[in-house]
Structure 1
Amino acid sequence: MFFKNSRLFALTETFSLSQEELETQLTEQLFTPCSKYEKSRIGWVSPIDAAYAAEGEEEAPMLTHVIGDYIMVCAQKQDRLLPASVVRQETEEKVAEIEQRQAR
């Protein structure tokens, strides 16, 4: 997985959650795409690309990846820049313009 944006944090206090406890809490906020009425949505996704996951695993994705004393987590955010109605209207106008030029 390649990152578009990466932020590293060093905690100043002791982190007391185990990988399993953190995994359980992150599962409560899994990423799902925006519905047509939402402007944005954020949630947790697997930090390991599905292509690298163990073959044959069909269970829920692992939301943490541990390397030594470090735990990697990955958040994903989706923003809707334009409402679907605006995109649809612009598309219809472009189609009408092209049809008029091509005399259809």
Structure 2
Amino acid sequence: MEQMPSDDIRTEQARKLATICYALYAISCIIGITAIAAIIINYLKRDEVAGTWVASHFEWQIKTFWYTLVGAFVSWLLMFILIGFPMLLAVGVWAIYRIVKGWLALNDGKAVDASKLV
């Protein structure tokens, strides 16, 4: 019979995973591809972190990934009328803001309100 880890250990493991994902998302601002590894981790470990305050960070990261992807896609579509360039810059700044805000909250041991976009 498999023994469940205590809540403190489970929360600490979840916190470490969220930290890894924030790092992968931050690196993706330069490299790009590491966000794919982060989103896979977010979805694979989502059930394991459920019920902890860290679960809000997983939701925050998932929403950040998808909204950034959609924003980048729309920006690329609008490149031909030149509005796409400033839009892409705005999407990038917004994504960096979300990564920093979430990572700082995680570092402080606080949940984030994943229902908010900003």
User: TM-score under structure 1 normalisation?
Assistant: 0.35
Structure with bigger helix share is 2
TM-score relative to the length of structure 2 = 0.32
- Highest CA radius of gyration, 1 or 2? 1
